[in-house]
């Protein structure tokens, strides 16, 4: 299963007011484990950067002036995304901006059906909140000390770790690692082997009561298919 964890930075809050994407960061997950493949780009928004937005992500108009336009990076971005599900925190924000950029260059927009919104997942799991990315990192013990400002690449990396916690992926991988010490792996299946089978937990009285009950059900009772031959013979019906 291939998924892409994605984050953007923008010039503002509303793409319908002329605000643009200025940074895109993506991390590829295969079976919810980072594969090492990433995508990152800064973009020239073709407009001035408001001071309020620059204070959040630190990207100035001067820094972005020499970066490529979205139209120049669209093919590379779409090729990296492929048909994968997109894992995004507060997905309605990023999706609106990406689709506005795609619509601007007359390219097909990204469908909402392929979105996994980690904010929705977090609210379901932790309804009392808070569920911002920093809050979730703190909750799950994920080191976000490098996150002095918002940045699409770092935020995507952190979100990949948060997502693993939200869906139980980290615990599952840890459990698999422990199993390999004492068990045999067959493909993706972990098989335990026991030195001796478990003994029956039934008492002698319970076993006798069960056999007596089966004896009253007639010779065609399906329960007889599950009786050991010796016990079935003891009922006198075979």
Digit-coded pLDDT (tens) for 226-238: 666 555 554 444 4
Task: For residue 71, give the CATH number of its domain.
Answer: 3.30.420.10
Task: Look at residues 154, 170, 186 and tell me which one is the last residue of a structural domain.
Answer: 170
Regarding whether 218 and 123 lie in a shared domain, the answer is: no
Q: How far apart are CA 173 and CA 126, in angstroms?
A: 22
Do the bridges between strand 2-10 and strand 184-186 make them parallel or antiparallel, or are there none, so unpaired?
A: unpaired
Percent of the chain with pLDDT over 70: 79
Regarding whether 137 and 20 lie in a shared domain, the answer is: yes
The reply to whether 190 falls in a domain is: no
Regarding whether 210 and 103 lie in a shared domain, the answer is: no
Q: How far apart are CA 122 and CA 132, in angstroms?
A: 9
Task: Look at residues 170, 195, 214 and tell me which one is the last residue of a structural domain.
Answer: 170
Confirm whether 210 is a catalytic residue: no
Q: Exactly one of 89, 126, 150, 210 is catalytic; which is it?
A: 150
pLDDT for position 55: 96
Regarding whether 116 and 35 lie in a shared domain, the answer is: yes
pLDDT for position 173: 46
Mean pLDDT confidence for 135-146: 94
Which pair of structure tokens corresponds to residue 118? Answer: 């980690």
Q: How far apart are CA 231 and CA 186, in angstroms?
A: 36
Quick check: 39 and 73 in contact, CB under 8 A? no
pLDDT for position 182: 34
How is the chain split among helix, strand and coil, in percent rounded to 5?
45, 20, 35
Regarding whether 94 and 139 lie in a shared domain, the answer is: yes
List the domain range (segments joined by +) for residue 215.
204-234
Q: How far apart are CA 114 and CA 171, in angstroms?
A: 25
Regarding whether 123 and 60 lie in a shared domain, the answer is: yes
The reply to whether 113 falls in a domain is: yes
pLDDT for position 222: 72
Mean pLDDT confidence for 164-170: 84
pLDDT for position 176: 43
Regarding whether 228 and 137 lie in a shared domain, the answer is: no
Question: CA 233 from chain center: how many Å?
Answer: 55
Q: How far apart are CA 179 and CA 172, in angstroms?
A: 11
Regarding whether 124 and 30 lie in a shared domain, the answer is: yes
């Amino acid at each position: 299963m291939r998924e892409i964890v994605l984050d953007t930075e923008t010039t503002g809050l509303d793409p319908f007011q002329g605000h643009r994407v200025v940074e895109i960061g993506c991390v590829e997950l295969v079976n919810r484990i980072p594969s090492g493949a990433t995508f990152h780009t800064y973009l020239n928004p073709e407009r001035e950067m408001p001071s309020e937005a620059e204070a959040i992500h630190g990207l100035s108009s001067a820094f972005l002036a020499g970066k490529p336009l979205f139209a120049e990076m669209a093919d590379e971005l779409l090729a990296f995304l492929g048909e994968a599900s997109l894992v995004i925190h507060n997905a309605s924000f990023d999706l609106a901006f990406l689709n506005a950029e795609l619509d601007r260059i007359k390219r097909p927009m990204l469908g909402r059906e392929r979105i996994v919104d980690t904010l929705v997942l977090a609210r379901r799991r932790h309804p009392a909140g808070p569920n911002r990315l920093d809050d979730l990192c703190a909750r799950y013990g994920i080191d976000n000390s490098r996150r002095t400002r918002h940045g699409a690449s770092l935020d995507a990396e952190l979100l990949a770790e948060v997502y693993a916690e939200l869906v139980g992926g980290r615990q599952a991988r840890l459990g698999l690692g422990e199993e390999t010490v004492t068990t045999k792996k067959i493909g993706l299946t972990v098989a335990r082997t026991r030195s001796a089978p478990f003994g029956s937990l039934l008492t002698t009285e319970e076993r006798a009561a069960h056999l007596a009950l089966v004896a009253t059900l007639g010779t065609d009772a399906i329960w007889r298919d599950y009786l050991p031959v010796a016990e079935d013979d003891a009922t006198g019906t075979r």
